[in-house]
Amino acid sequence: MRYFIFHSFYLTRLLIALSGIFPAWGLQAQADIEKQLQTRMILAEDGDVIELPQGFVTLSNTLWLDGKNNIVVRGAGEGKTILSFKNQKQGAEGLKVTNAKNITLQDFTIEDSKGDLIKTQTVNGLVFKNITARWTGKPKASNGSYALYPVQCFNVRIERCTAIGASDAGIYVGQSDSVWVTDCYARNNVAGIEIENTTNAWVWKNKSEDNTGGILVFDLPDLMKKRGGHVQVYDNEVKANNYRNFAPKGNIVGKVPPGTGVMILATNDVDVHHNQILNNKTASTAIVSYFIAETPIKDTLYNPYPTNIRIHDNTYSKGKRMPTWKNKLGFIFWWKFGRKVPHILYDGIQNPDHLDASGQLRSEYRICIKNNQNGSFANIRADKIGLFKGDISKDIRPYDCSK
Amino acid sequence: MRLILPFAGLICAAILLLSMRQPIAAPKMQLSEYGFFEGKMADLKPAKGVFPYEVNAPLFTDYAEKSRFIYLPEGKKMLYKSAGAFELPAGAVIIKNFYYAQDYTASEAERLRTCRILETRLLLRDEKGWKALEYVWNADQTDATLEVAGASTPLSWVDAHGKKQQIEYAMPNLNQCKGCHSYDGQFVPIGVSARQLNQAEKSDNQLLTWATNGWLELPSDFNPATSPCMKDYRRLEENADKNATALAARAYLDGNCAHCHNPHGPASTSGLFLEYDQADPEKFGVNKPPVAAGRGSGNRRYSIVHGKPNESILLYRMEENDPGIRMPELGRQMAHQEGVELIRQWIKQM
């Protein structure tokens, strides 16, 4: 076992105390800690535990771990080890892990990076555990995009983590496979938890509240990993996700209406069940195609339709709250339903190739909705909708897949 | 004596083997230990086995000047490839020095006299692959020291317009080197490639010189004019037509962005691919919405909007200096005015 010499509690405390008395010296000490940490990450050997020092550590550059196997990066605990990138000068991310195997990141707080807080790319075997990743202060568009951001990773476990203030998604899993997100907490992000172009994801027992959207399951065009799907979303608390959308324009989450609980966009095989989806004022659960984004699709391999979706055994409530009208989708809901927006909304845009002779989606593509408490429903038939015309159907019977 | 002679041969062979097993790839603490330069180190006069090279479309790094060299072990040569980096023999080293003059309005002699070398980056080839090493020059300009975690230093100079520039000059750590030098997660060189090195329009094409000198194995039917070659974007005429501007712009994007923005690079996640030979306009950004740009989108909808540079994310990220927005992420803190202008022209003329 190799211990990192400078992680001593007292030494860090002393440095922090001294930095108050001798500011320049403190800065120098912080720069030394940064350099030592980065050196440690570069020289780490298979099986090493890299200890992050206790205390408030200010960093000016991305900490980067590349090409390593079986490494644990461990702090003294959330709120005890705080990596602050408030004065970041270089590199967009806070902590970055790339081209690695079996990496565990745990027990620290990381905050205020210019870009993403923790980005991991092409890592096989990855654990995020007991990490608070946040932007301090009022949520704003100048916050970074993602708090926890595994992309192109395999075998990812995100557990007991907290994500706050991301201008895109708090916990964002992109183009990955075999993913657990559990026991996490997401607040004041545009999207609390987002699973994008990712296969085999289990999202359970999380709490996502006071975001613009609680839990999003998206498939987008133009990506290397073409298709996500096989996603389970269950036993989550998805509450009061009514926060204003502060995403910079151009980003897909910028189109998510404030007041969205769970949104499934163009993904295949998604099972949403046994969730508490409460007090989300616009769309408790939305099942939509990519056409909602109103962006032309040029990716010929892309499937813009949500298919094989199951929404069951969820509990819904929200009282009589107005949906947002600061967003096109929200405005349509408001116009069509007023205060009484149904909980489960389907855009009704279907691929003609997915239909059987009677005009219904074939069984492998069906949208199945049943046994939800308070689960009112509408197919808004967005391909036909207009402000003064419209063909909304509240008939839920076609979505009972036991028939 | 008769007894010793056969052994002497063996001993010599053993010594030779041992010395060969001490590849140049073993990191040295000081740059001088490699012996790449003879005479006064700061003159960067190449020693035997070391020769300079030029690239067609260089990466902009805060207006640093660069001098580039390749070291080849005795009797070894590089192998030409039309796509990607050339194959270099084990023991080869690619050497890149970064320096600034104090005042770019001064005479050439004065600029040379006040020149300050900040860093030397090495790419070393061994049997297993490539690795990077970073050497930071001392104030006396007598030598440079290995720094695995990188370094930074305050730097100021007077630019060609007579304006004083001041930055905290950043030198990369070893992982940052790989941040750009990466192909499917493997460390690779970037500049030592046909499209960067083929000087098709020059009479003294460096590729042909190297072939003559025995440093490069060229295909027997090699023809510079029909082989990959990027336009030198710095030599774009003032009244260049649309096509010439487009070629220069695409060369610029290749040299400055495509090391990450290609399907095998670190920015493969973005779906934006800026290689010189990328033929699909959507892939090089035309009407392409961002994927994970976040605030990097600058409230613009597409990477490139035909004829509208001020609505194109690509240009926004080139102009911005905020570390969370600017592109490239690494290697620059200032915007490259000339590069920005070139891309602006190109988009405008689309």
Judged against a pLDDT cut of 70, whether residue A174 lies above it is answered with yes
Relative orientation angle of helices A23-43 and A9-21, to the nearest 10 degrees: 150
Inter-chain residue contact A295 with B289, CB threshold 8 Å? yes
Between CA B265 and CA B85 the distance in angstroms is 14
The nearest alpha carbon in chain A to B295 belongs to A248
Determine contact, residues A67/B178, Cβ cutoff 8 Å.
yes
Determine contact, residues A186/A162, Cβ cutoff 8 Å.
yes
| Residue A383 amino acid letter | D
Residue B18: pLDDT band with limits 50, 70, 90: very low
Inter-chain residue contact B298 with A250, CB threshold 8 Å? yes
Residue B43: pLDDT band with limits 50, 70, 90: very high
CA dihedral A163, A168, A172, A176 (to 10 degrees): -160
Say if B289 is an interface residue toward chain A (CB within 8 Å).
Answer: yes
Say if B324 is an interface residue toward chain A (CB within 8 Å).
Answer: yes
Between CA A70 and CA A125 the distance in angstroms is 9
pLDDT recorded at residue A5: 41
Q: Which two tokens stand for residue A148?
A: 């926890």
- What DSSP state is assigned to residue A392? -
pLDDT recorded at residue B9: 54
The sign one gets for the Cα dihedral A47, A52, A53, A54 is: negative
Say if B320 is an interface residue toward chain A (CB within 8 Å).
Answer: no
pLDDT recorded at residue A392: 85
Distance from CA of A115 to the nearest CA of B (A): 4
pLDDT recorded at residue B114: 92
Inter-chain residue contact B149 with A90, CB threshold 8 Å? no
Which stretches within B126-237 are classed as H helix? 174-180, 194-197, 206-213
pLDDT recorded at residue A296: 84
pLDDT recorded at residue A240: 97
Judged against a pLDDT cut of 50, whether residue A23 lies above it is answered with no
For chain B, what is the mean pLDDT? 91
Bridge partners of B68, per DSSP, are B53, B96
DSSP output for A1-13: -PPPGGG-HHHHH
Between CA A98 and CA A66 the distance in angstroms is 5
DSSP output for B225-262: GGS-----GGG--TT--HHHHHHHHHHHHHHHTTTTSS
CB atoms within 10 A of CB B258: 24
Report chain B residues whose CB lies below 8 A from the CB of A143: 295
Residue A125: pLDDT band with limits 50, 70, 90: very high
The C-alpha R_g of chain B, in whole angstroms, comes to: 22
Determine contact, residues B260/B267, Cβ cutoff 8 Å.
yes
Between CA B268 and CA B119 the distance in angstroms is 29
The winner for highest mean pLDDT among A64-78, A324-338, A385-399 is: A64-78
Judged against a pLDDT cut of 90, whether residue B10 lies above it is answered with no
Residue B167: partners with Cβ closer than 8 Å, 6 or more residues away: B62, B154, B155, B156, B333, B334
CA dihedral B265, B183, A196, A334 (to 10 degrees): 0
Of A55-64, A290-299, B69-78, B247-256, give the lowest mean pLDDT range.
Answer: A290-299
Between CA A285 and CA A262 the distance in angstroms is 5
Residue A383: pLDDT band with limits 50, 70, 90: confident
Judged against a pLDDT cut of 60, whether residue B1 lies above it is answered with no
What number is the average pLDDT over the span A69-89?
Answer: 96
Which stretches within B4-142 are classed as H helix? 4-21, 108-113
Buried b / exposed e over A22-46, threshold 16 CB at 10 Å, is: eeeebeebbeebbbbbbbbbbebee
pLDDT recorded at residue A11: 47
Of A116-120, B21-25, B186-190, give the lowest mean pLDDT range.
Answer: B21-25
pLDDT recorded at residue A16: 47
pLDDT recorded at residue A236: 98
Judged against a pLDDT cut of 80, whether residue B126 lies above it is answered with yes
What number is the average pLDDT over the span A242-264?
Answer: 93
Determine which helix (DSSP H) or strand (DSSP E) holds A180, and give its type and residue range.
strand A177-182
The shortest CB-CB distance from B292 to any of A96, A145, A295 is to A145
The shortest CB-CB distance from A251 to any of B176, B179, B293 is to B293
Nearest Cα neighbor of A100 from A59, A159, A154 is A154
Of A45-59, A285-299, B108-122, give the lowest mean pLDDT range.
Answer: A285-299
pLDDT digits (tens, 9 = 90+) for A354-373: 999 988 899 999 999 999 99
Distance from CA of B147 to the nearest CA of A (A): 9
Say if B62 is an interface residue toward chain A (CB within 8 Å).
Answer: no
The shortest CB-CB distance from B149 to any of A38, A65, A249 is to A38
pLDDT digits (tens, 9 = 90+) for B54-90: 999 999 999 999 999 999 999 999 999 999 999 999 9
Inter-chain residue contact A122 with B263, CB threshold 8 Å? no
Judged against a pLDDT cut of 80, whether residue A28 lies above it is answered with no
Residue A115: pLDDT band with limits 50, 70, 90: very high
pLDDT digits (tens, 9 = 90+) for B44-53: 999 999 999 9
Bond preceding residue A342 cis, omega within 30 of 0: no
Judged against a pLDDT cut of 50, whether residue A272 lies above it is answered with yes
Residue A389: pLDDT band with limits 50, 70, 90: low
Between CA A324 and CA A327 the distance in angstroms is 7
CB atoms within 10 A of CB B13: 10
Say if B154 is an interface residue toward chain A (CB within 8 Å).
Answer: no
The shortest CB-CB distance from B269 to any of A41, A151, A248 is to A151
Say if B177 is an interface residue toward chain A (CB within 8 Å).
Answer: no
Three-class secondary structure of residue A35 per DSSP:
helix
For B66, phi and psi rounded to 5 degrees?
-135, 145
Residue A88: pLDDT band with limits 50, 70, 90: very high
Say if B292 is an interface residue toward chain A (CB within 8 Å).
Answer: yes
Residue B8: pLDDT band with limits 50, 70, 90: low
The nearest alpha carbon in chain B to A226 belongs to B271
pLDDT digits (tens, 9 = 90+) for B149-172: 889 999 999 999 999 999 999 999
Report chain B residues whose CB lies below 8 A from the CB of A146: 292, 294
pLDDT digits (tens, 9 = 90+) for B227-257: 999 999 999 888 889 999 999 999 999 999 9
Judged against a pLDDT cut of 90, whether residue B11 lies above it is answered with no
Between CA B300 and CA B316 the distance in angstroms is 9
What number is the average pLDDT over the span A237-261?
Answer: 93
Judged against a pLDDT cut of 70, whether residue A9 lies above it is answered with no
Q: Which two tokens stand for residue B149?
A: 């975690």
Say if B181 is an interface residue toward chain A (CB within 8 Å).
Answer: no
pLDDT recorded at residue A293: 84
Report percent pLDDT > 90 for chain A.
75
From residue B273, give the alpha-carbon distance in Å to each of A327, B27, B81, B288. 32, 34, 21, 11
pLDDT recorded at residue A90: 86
Between CA B35 and CA B48 the distance in angstroms is 9
Judged against a pLDDT cut of 90, whether residue A64 lies above it is answered with yes
What number is the average pLDDT over the span B134-147?
Answer: 96
CB atoms within 10 A of CB A5: 10
From residue B319, give the alpha-carbon distance in Å to each of A110, A275, A279, B132. 28, 45, 42, 29
pLDDT digits (tens, 9 = 90+) for B258-285: 999 999 999 998 999 999 999 999 999 9
Determine contact, residues A370/A271, Cβ cutoff 8 Å.
no
Residue A44: partners with Cβ closer than 8 Å, 6 or more residues away: A50, A65, A68, A71
Distance from CA of B282 to the nearest CA of A (A): 8
Judged against a pLDDT cut of 90, whether residue A268 lies above it is answered with yes
- What DSSP state is assigned to residue B286? B
Judged against a pLDDT cut of 70, whether residue A21 lies above it is answered with no
Distance from CA of A318 to the nearest CA of B (A): 30
